[in-house]
Amino acid sequence: MSAGVPNPPSTPHVKAMNCPGCGAALSLRSFTQAVTVVCDSCHSILDAQDPQLKILQQFKKATGEDPPLIPVGTRGTIRGTPYEAVGFQRRTIQVEGIPYSWHEYVLFNPYKGFRYLTEYNGHWNDTSTLRALPTLNAFAGNVRVTYLGETYRHFQTAQASTTYVLGEFPWQVRVGEANEVTDYVSPPRVLSSERSGNEVTWSMGEYISGRDIWRTFALSGDPPAPIGVYENQPSPFSTDTKTIWTIFGAFAIFLLLMMLGFSSFARDEQAFQGAYIFDTNARGETSFVTDPFELKGRISTLELSTSTNVDNNWIYLNYALINQDTGQAYDFGREVSYYHGYDSDGSWTEGSRNDSVAIPSVPPGTYFLRVEPESDSGHGTIHYEITAKRDVPQFSFFGIALLALLVPAALITWRSINFEHLRWAESDHAPMESSSDSGGDDD
Amino acid sequence: MTQPAANCPNCGAKIVFRWSSSVQTVCEYCKSILVRTDVDLKKVGQVADLPPNSSPIQIGTEGVYNHRPFVAVGRIIYEYDQGTWNEWHLVLNNGSAWLSDAQDDYVVTFAAPGRKLPQSAEVGQRYVWDNESYAVSTVTKAHYRGVEGELPFQYWDKEDVVFIDLMSEHGKFATLDYSDEAPVLYLGESVEFEDLKLKNLRSFEGWQ
């Protein structure tokens, strides 16, 4: 080769040819890279490497029996590279006697070679062959595969036969030929191994939305709506689940710190205590006021406890907490009742002798209580004691906040589990099945 | 790098070697296969018409591998039952390598002499070279279909020979070449088209 005088570059062009079977026009879109090409008119599979296009197989199918969603010759850009759809095949597996079919589109770029799109029930995958070997880790009952540090779980092994072909293929395609196909999933990716003879070809698919396909190939109409959950379809809940539990965890820690802060700052001091007797037989005015007491410090809660000796009886206490200086009053009533007895189910009790209530945001100042007890008359005397505690830490708010956060977290988790259940229900490892082939779910 | 010119013993055209260690070249004009001797060039064969081929690489394509610039100076075209593939002979600043292009899947390999090699192998069998474990992925019977440009050895007119391709878990690639009596090992890795930063590529009608 003489330097500086390169061969005039020959520019490969799409070859127009004629089918030796029926004479119909054919073109080789992938230049010389195709191994087989299908005549759409007479359904002959032709040797694309042979200048005479020797007929390798003829198959009986109605023309247009299975029209590809991406017509041969359509171009689109995938990951920045333009590709042309050059081939199409339908592959079918049998599961318990029922045929399931998916479609594979062969894409070609003259510099980057072949790439594939697969479609099943509206679920799409962008697939290319692997450049490194996955590592198989065989365990009892299930198989895992590691590829470039990522672990994939066995999903399904099936015999996939080619049942319809169109266009060009970079391999020896034949209608009726079956290969063992095994899928391992790690959403949104799927690793597939295809065994033909003793050679194994690995490919990796990544879930892609039909909408993206429609946009890049400028297809008319809408993509078919995906049906069900596909093997490597990313769960719409998996990131949500992580996020919400992270938020929940962070919030729980925040609440815990707040609780610790409040309980250490809370004074929790007794401001008032008084013991009283209520004579149910007495007539006339029962209300009275207590001695004034001081509430110190900042605005905080006041916890008012009532402990009584009611026994198969009740007492109702009308309370008013009154600020001596401003006249501001907090009115509230508390019923304390305690009953017990014995019936056919054994002994029972109802209610309690004690009661406690928190009055929030009480400003400091001098206060007194107005108390008005009520009960059924003729029940003798009721002893009761009133205790007021200042600045008592309150934790029920924290519990409510935590619960309010727990509900959506649990809901999303449940939906996520449900989604995974639907995914694996279609696999060889369906959680319901106790069939002997796979040993059921793993982990 | 360009060496003093010689003349084709067949047609008299000027022959210039791009690489001093090239052993064989093909006359661009009369397609004679020429082998270097101590004194001159000897015609050993004739290239028949090359099969139509759509590798985007051509003689003179330049690129970069592992920060080392290279130029494609020659190639061998092999034919097997699935079509053809190209082994492009790359010259780097201090040696030569091979860029294999099989249906636009690219692999760069270097000759790796001095390793223990099997006389045959089956798919799935494992071998370790340079602390990397390889598994046999394909065993291919192929034959010489044509040559172009400069090669580091004589290669023409071969019968069916066996190539054993091996892959590792880390994207490393190995080929055992049984063209001659003693097998030859090539070690390398599969590469992305973009990563080679190729220049002076062929153009394709209808594609930019």
Output A14 or A223, whichever has higher pLDDT: A223
* Cross-chain residue pair B167–A132, CB shorter than 8 Å: yes
Instruction: Show the CA angle centred on residue B72, arms to residues B67 and B74, nearest 5°.
Output: 150
Cis preceding-peptide flag for A188 (omega within 30 of 0): yes
Count of CB atoms within 10 A of residue A343's CB? 7
Across the interface, of B28, B73, B168, the residue whose CB is closest to A133 is B168
* Cross-chain residue pair A12–B204, CB shorter than 8 Å: yes
Chain A nearest-CA distance from B186, in A, is 17
Question: Which residue of chain A has the CA closest to B15?
Answer: A2
Question: pLDDT by residue (tens digit) across A55-79?
Answer: 998 887 766 678 899 999 999 999 9
Across the interface, of A5, A14, A114, the residue whose CB is closest to B206 is A14
Could you tell me if A63 and A104 lie in one domain? yes
- In DSSP terms, A372 is beta-bridged to A318
* Cross-chain residue pair B18–A111, CB shorter than 8 Å: no
Indicate the DSSP class of residue A309: -
Output the pLDDT for position A254.
Answer: 87
Could you tell me if A290 and A192 lie in one domain? no
Say if residue A386's pLDDT is above 90.
Answer: yes
C-alpha neighbours within 13 Å on the C-beta side of residue A151: 6
Chain B nearest-CA distance from A58, in A, is 19
Residue A245 sits at φ, ψ, to 5 deg, of -75, -30
- In DSSP terms, B110 is beta-bridged to B187
* Cross-chain residue pair A113–B54, CB shorter than 8 Å: no
C-alpha neighbours within 13 Å on the C-beta side of residue B146: 14
Question: Which residue of chain B has the CA closest to A49?
Answer: B83
Interface of B with A in 79-98 (CB under 8 A): 81-84
Cα–Cα distance, B129 to B166 (Å, whole number): 11
- Within A148-266, strands assigned E span 150-169, 178-186, 189-196, 199-208
The answer to whether residue B177 neighbours chain A at the CB level (below 8 Å) is no
* Cross-chain residue pair A199–B137, CB shorter than 8 Å: yes
Task: Output the CA torsion A261→A263→A269→A275 (10° steps).
Answer: 150
β-pairing verdict for A81-95 and A75-78: antiparallel
- First CA to last CA distance, chain B: 32
The answer to whether residue B206 neighbours chain A at the CB level (below 8 Å) is yes
**Residue A417: what residue type?**
I
Do the domain assignments include residue A5? no
Question: Which residue of chain A has the CA closest to B59?
Answer: A6
Could you tell me if A151 and A295 lie in one domain? no
Output A15 or A79, whichever has higher pLDDT: A79
Could you tell me if A48 and A190 lie in one domain? yes
Integer CA distances (angstroms), A335 to A305, A356, B110, in order: 12, 10, 93
B/e letters for A137-171, b = 16+ CB within 10 Å, e = fewer, are: eeeeebbbbbbeeeebbbbbbbebbbbbbbbbbbb
Could you tell me if A67 and A203 lie in one domain? yes
Residue A91: both structure tokens together: 């592959």
- In DSSP terms, A421 is beta-bridged to none
Do the domain assignments include residue A441? no
User: Given CA atoms A161, A166, A171, A174 in this order, what sign does their dihedral have?
Assistant: positive
Total residue count of chain B as it appears in this document: 208
Q: Alpha carbon A269 to chain centroid distance?
A: 49
The answer to whether residue A299 neighbours chain B at the CB level (below 8 Å) is no
Question: pLDDT by residue (tens digit) across A281-299?
Answer: 887 888 999 999 998 888 8
B/e letters for B130-147, b = 16+ CB within 10 Å, e = fewer, are: eebebbbbbbbebebbbb
Do the domain assignments include residue A439? no
β-pairing verdict for A81-95 and A150-169: antiparallel
Q: From chain B, pick out residues whose CB is under 8 angstroms from the CB of A109.
A: 104, 207
Output the pLDDT for position A103.
Answer: 96
Could you tell me if A198 and A89 lie in one domain? yes
What is the average pLDDT across A173-190? Answer: 93
- For A339, residues 6+ apart whose C-beta sits below 8 A from its C-beta are A312, A313, A349, A350, A351
Do the domain assignments include residue A355? yes
Share above pLDDT 90 across residues of chain A, in percent, rounded to a whole number: 49
Across the interface, of B16, B51, B103, the residue whose CB is closest to A113 is B103
Cα–Cα distance, A392 to A443 (Å, whole number): 48
Do the domain assignments include residue A3? no
CB A130 within 8 A of CB A147: yes
Range of the domain at A370: 267-392
Across the interface, of A1, A129, A133, the residue whose CB is closest to B25 is A1
Could you tell me if A48 and A164 lie in one domain? yes
Q: From chain B, pick out residues whose CB is under 8 angstroms from the CB of A10.
A: 202
- For A340, residues 6+ apart whose C-beta sits below 8 A from its C-beta are A311, A312, A347, A348, A349, A350
What is the average pLDDT across A92-120? Answer: 94
User: Given CA atoms A47, A48, A49, A50 in this order, what sign does their dihedral have?
Assistant: positive
Question: pLDDT by residue (tens digit) across A192-235?
Answer: 999 888 788 899 999 999 999 999 999 999 999 999 999 999 98
Could you tell me if A224 and A355 lie in one domain? no
Say if residue A434's pLDDT is above 50.
Answer: no
CB A319 within 8 A of CB A307: no
* Cross-chain residue pair A7–B28, CB shorter than 8 Å: yes
* Cross-chain residue pair A32–B202, CB shorter than 8 Å: no
**Residue B199: what residue type?**
K
Per-residue confidence band for A437, with pLDDT thresholds at 50, 70 and 90: very low
Say if residue A142's pLDDT is above 80.
Answer: no
β-pairing verdict for B126-129 and B132-149: antiparallel
Task: Output the CA torsion B55→B56→B62→B64 (10° steps).
Answer: -90
Output the pLDDT for position A63.
Answer: 65
Output the pLDDT for position A1.
Answer: 40
Output the pLDDT for position A298.
Answer: 80
Global model pTM greater than 0.80 = no
Can you give the CATH number for the domain in which A368 is found?
A: 2.60.120.380
Question: Which residue of chain B has the CA closest to A28?
Answer: B54
Residue A327: both structure tokens together: 């006249």
Could you tell me if A123 and A148 lie in one domain? yes
Question: Which residue of chain B has the CA closest to A36?
Answer: B82
DSSP codes joined into one string, A2-31:
-TT-PPPPP---PEEEE-TTT--EEEETTT
Interface of A with B in 170-209 (CB under 8 A): 170-172, 198-200
pLDDT lower than 50: segments of chain B: 1
Mapping DSSP to helix (H, G, I), strand (E, B) and coil, where does residue A378 land? coil
Least confident of A135-139, A186-190, A218-222: A135-139
Mapping DSSP to helix (H, G, I), strand (E, B) and coil, where does residue A38 land? strand
Indicate the DSSP class of residue A223: P
Chain B nearest-CA distance from A166, in A, is 19
Across the interface, of A11, A35, A200, the residue whose CB is closest to B82 is A35
Cα–Cα distance, A309 to A311 (Å, whole number): 6
Mapping DSSP to helix (H, G, I), strand (E, B) and coil, where does residue A310 land? coil
Could you tell me if A163 and A251 lie in one domain? no
Output the pLDDT for position A432.
Answer: 60
CB A278 within 8 A of CB A374: no
Across the interface, of B18, B138, B205, the residue whose CB is closest to A1 is B18
Do the domain assignments include residue A440? no
Output the pLDDT for position B4.
Answer: 59
Last residue of a domain, one of A234, A254, A287: A234
Total structural domains within chain A: 3
Could you tell me if A246 and A227 lie in one domain? no
The answer to whether residue A111 neighbours chain B at the CB level (below 8 Å) is yes
* Average pLDDT along chain A: 87
Could you tell me if A379 and A405 lie in one domain? no
